[in-house]
Amino acid sequence: MAPLKYYCYPEGSPNRAPLLTIRNLNLEAEIIFVDIRKGEHLSEKFRKMNPQQCLPILDDNGFILWESRAISQYLVTTRAPGSSLYPTDPQKRAIVDARLNLDCTLHAVSRAFFYPIHSMGETTIPELPKQRLYKLLSCLNDMLEGKAFVAGDEPTIADFSLLTSFSSYYHAGANVKHLKNLMAWYKRCETLPGFQENENEAIAYGKLIKSKINIKDHWDE
Domains of the chain: 4-79 (3.40.30.10), 90-213 (1.20.1050.10)
**3-state secondary structure at position 205:** helix
C-beta of residue 208 within 8 angstroms of C-beta of residue 118: yes
Question: How big, in percent rounded to 5, are the helix, strand and coil portions of the chain?
Answer: 60, 10, 30
What integer pLDDT is reported at residue 50 of this predicted model?
A: 86
pLDDT of residue 1: 58
Instruction: Give the number of other CB atoms < 10 A from CB of residue 53.
Output: 16
Distance CA 118, CA 31 (A): 24
Query: Long-range contact list for 139-142, CB < 8 A, 24+ apart?
Result: 139/102, 140/102, 140/182, 141/179, 141/180, 141/181, 141/182, 142/181
Q: What is the pLDDT of residue 160?
A: 99
Give the per-residue pLDDT at 96: 99
pLDDT, mean of each 10-residue run, the chain (221 residues): 88 96 97 86 85 93 96 98 97 98 96 87 89 97 98 98 98 96 99 98 95 86 66
**What pLDDT shows up at residue 220?**
83
pLDDT for 221: 66
